[in-house]
Amino acid sequence: MTVAELDLVVPVREGHANQQLRYALRSWQACLPHRQVWIIGYKPTWLYGVQFIPTRQAGRTKYANTTQAMRLACEHPDITDTFLWANDDMFVMEPLDEMPVLHRGPVREVEAHYIARASGSYLRGMRETRDLLADHGYDDPLSYELHVPLPVSKAGMLRTLDAGRHLDVLHKRTMFGNLEGIGGERLDDVKVLHRAPRFDRSTPFLSTMPDSFANGEVGRVIRSSFPSPSDYEYRRR
């Protein structure tokens, strides 16, 4: 299977606007080879020409909802056996021949970064996933919690979800990447949290928060890079 034959799978939360998804799709059509797009969860009214798996997003947390979406993708017979998993706030800014496998470096370093700035369920999930990987023999695992698309194999991810079934905030990208030994190249996370014009433009990848997309320089750059509608946007004919 060539890279252009991989499906692109995106979990989407409820809500009509989602301009980040609109421009993410424009960037993927222009720059990220794929076969077709699958939306899992909620389908905005302006979306066109995508495959859709509706779900009732009734999980106690967003992590439960995305884990449900991942399992549905892995169990769906019409989605390619390896697919690209992406969020609706991930943008590819330059044409790629294929999506590389990327990681964020050791979990211990990412954990230290989050300890310095935040706590809560995400950090707890990181630690619990790290401890679970240690139980599986991975004493210094890599983090794959980057805001970039990730190539995922169905069988490998189903093994991952089963192994972490008891965790309510499983870091499934990290668990999968280590259990399946996918390797990859290191990249600093590309999420831009602020409105300021200073952000890293040295990689083909960007990601935003709703505010930084709507009101920040990073959002202006993304919107100006992809001004034309993609084939995934409904247009009157």
How do residues 152-161 score in pLDDT, each as one tens digit?
999 999 999 9
175-211 confidence digits (pLDDT tens): 999 999 999 999 999 999 999 999 999 999 999 999 9
Taking only the tens place, the pLDDT of each residue in 14-42 is 876 899 999 999 999 999 999 999 999 99
pTM: 0.94
Backbone angles phi, psi at 2, to 5 degrees: -80, 165
How many Å is the Cα radius of gyration of the chain? Answer: 17
Query: Minimal CA–CA distance to 156: which of 179, 174, 137?
Result: 179
Supply 151's token pair: 């190539």
| Domains of the chain and any CATH numbers | 3-225 (3.90.550)
Which residues lie below 8 Å from residue 17, measured CB to CB, with a gap of 6+? 44
pLDDT at 237 over 50: no
Query: Does the structure show a pLDDT above 80 at 236?
Result: no
